[in-house]
Structure 1
Amino acid sequence: MKKLLRLSIVDDNPFLINAVADKLSFYDDIRIVFTAHSGVQALSKIAFEGKPIDLILMDIEMPEMDGIEATGLIKAKYPQIKILMLTVFDDESRIFRAIQNGADGYLLKDTAPEDLYQAVIQTMAGGAAMTPSIARKALNLLRNPLEPSAAADQCDQVKLSGREVEVLEQLAKGLPYTRIAENLFLSPSTVRKHIENIYQKLQVHSKLDAVQEARLRRLI
């Protein structure tokens, strides 16, 4: 008889939590003990649980505390808990930081049910499960490690105005241009101009990329 594995899912999107739970619902040796919508809530629920958690499927972008920071704190306090990052982000910086903070594996959210299950089993056996594209980037990081000083210099080169930061913060909330204009008492054309300037400074071409790059550079 297979050992029952106690899992938790940490993600700020209830729909995605349900989707992941559905993927694992076919396997009798998996039990979802709790779900959480932020790193802070995950830490609280782990402390509240009477029985130990075996593995956490951890999102990255969440309010209050992101998944990478939560991973570091959980690993420091509960080193026996395995943590698999389950995210849409596949950039090398996040992979590097997640591994540094103790992540046991790194998967993308479009992972198929059977692959997700096998990743859980592999991780519990001491392996390091990774989506193939993530594994390639992890190998690339070993061959060409990120230079912290160079990354810091790169971040310092990008200077956003106070108004541009405000616009970015509104974009991060998923608000349309017209709503941003109302909130900041600007005209829609002025908002578009600010966004064009942000794109140029961050060298991106979409709202999602702008928000991700700004967060990566700790501009918002």
Structure 2
Amino acid sequence: MIRTMIVDDDALVRLGLADLLHGDPDIEVVAQAADGLAAIDQATAHRIDVALVDVRMPRMDGITATARLRTLPHPPKVITLTTFDLDEYVYDALAAGADGFLLKDTDPAEILRAVHLVASGSAMLHPAAARRLIDRYHHSARPRTAEAQSRIDRLTPRERDVLALLTEGDTNADIASALGMRESTVKAHVSRILTTLEVTNRVQAALLARDAGFTG
């Protein structure tokens, strides 16, 4: 059972997402919040596996909330939500530790798929909009190219192969198929890659690879 939290200042959006998630027998909505501060309180009181977090909210926005959620003793995976395609704030949310993002008008089946993917350790980088977003909002807050490259240089050749596919948004199953590995072996490689690159999730690993101009 995937324990989820919905964070959005629009009550109708929360209601709609809750109805959608309740329709999946493997997903349980255990908390809701109208802003980032309430989300931190709820995530502290409940064990949350995946949080769907709006970007723009009063009191504490989704970007700040994402960073705070990722520092909790048992941090949830985070999917940020936005009304705007190519919204610069979503890039900041990904850099803050979110595992992906969705547009609010995303097909309901894709929202459910995203929750399952993120809960299993994958990321929502494969939509073309996500790649355009990361490329467009390349700003000075990102790590310097030399620093990013020095971290990638620590990887083994096989880890670099995995990172190249991870950067394209491939799931563990996709990577396993492409490289002729077991999925459990891919998971082990991804874990070592995150440790070596000094990042917390796959999205940040992909961002760092792009910082370095890494192509495999």
TM-score past 0.5 threshold:
yes
Q: TM-score, with normalisation over the residues of structure 1?
A: 0.59
How far, CA to CA, are the matches of 1:131 and 1:13 in structure 2? 27
Amino acid at match of 2:38: Q
Change (3 A) 1:78 1:100: farther
Kindly indicate whether the alpha-carbon contact (under 8 Å) linking 2:7 and 2:36 is maintained by their aligned counterparts in 1.
yes
Out of 15, 32, 48, the residue aligned to residue 12 of structure 2 is 15
SS in 2 for 1:114: helix
Match of 2:135 among 134, 137, 140: 140
Cα-Cα RMSD: 2.1
Q: Does 1:107 align with 2:102?
A: yes
Partner residue of 2:35 out of 38, 44, 47: 38
Structure 1 residue 132 displacement after superposition:
2.5
**Would you say the 8 A contact 2:80–2:90 is kept in 1?**
no
Alignment map for 1:120-131 (pairs within 5 Å): 120-130=115-125
- 1:8–1:33 CA contact under 8 A, matched in 2: yes
**Secondary structure of the corresponding residue to residue 70 of structure 2:** helix
1:5 aligned to 2:2? Answer: yes
Partner of 1:122, secondary structure, is: helix
- Rounded Cα–Cα distance in structure 1 between residues aligned with 2:35 and 2:124: 23
Provide the C-alpha distance between the structure 2 equivalents of 1:90 and 1:70, rounded to a whole number of angstroms. Answer: 20
Question: Are the structure 2 counterparts of residues 37 and 139 from structure 1 closer, same or farther at C-alpha, using a change threshold of 3 Å?
Answer: closer
Q: Within 2, Cα distance between the matches of 1:110 and 1:28?
A: 22
Counterparts in 2 of 1:85 and 1:131: CA distance versus 1, 3 Å: farther
Q: Say if 1:111 and 1:131, in contact at 8 Å, map to a contact too.
A: no
Shift of 1:89: 2.7
Q: Secondary structure at the match of 1:76?
A: coil
The answer on whether the counterparts of 1:84 and 1:107 sit within 8 Å (CA) in structure 2 is yes
CA distance in 2, matches of 1:81, 1:148: 24
Equivalent pair of 1:92/1:137 in contact (CA under 8 Å): no
Asked if the contact 2:55/2:90 (under 8 Å) is kept, the reply is no
- Measure the CA separation in 2 of the matches of 1:74 and 1:148: 21
Give the drift of 1:147: 3.4
State the TM-score, normalizing by the size of structure 2.
Answer: 0.60
Check the 8 A contact 1:105/1:130 in 2, yes or no: yes
Which consecutive residues of structure 2, in runs of 5 or more, have no partner in the other structure?
143-216
Q: Share of identical aligned residues, percent? A: 35
Local SS of the residue matching 2:60: coil
CA distance in 1, matches of 2:133, 2:64: 19
Unaligned 5+ residue runs, structure 1? 150-220
- From the superposition, tell whether residues 22 and 133 of structure 1 become closer, same or farther in structure 2 (CA, over 3 Å): farther
Q: Does 1:117 align with 2:112?
A: yes
Give the 5 Å matches for 1:1-220.
Answer: 4-49=1-46, 52-78=47-73, 80-130=75-125, 132-141=127-136, 145-148=138-141
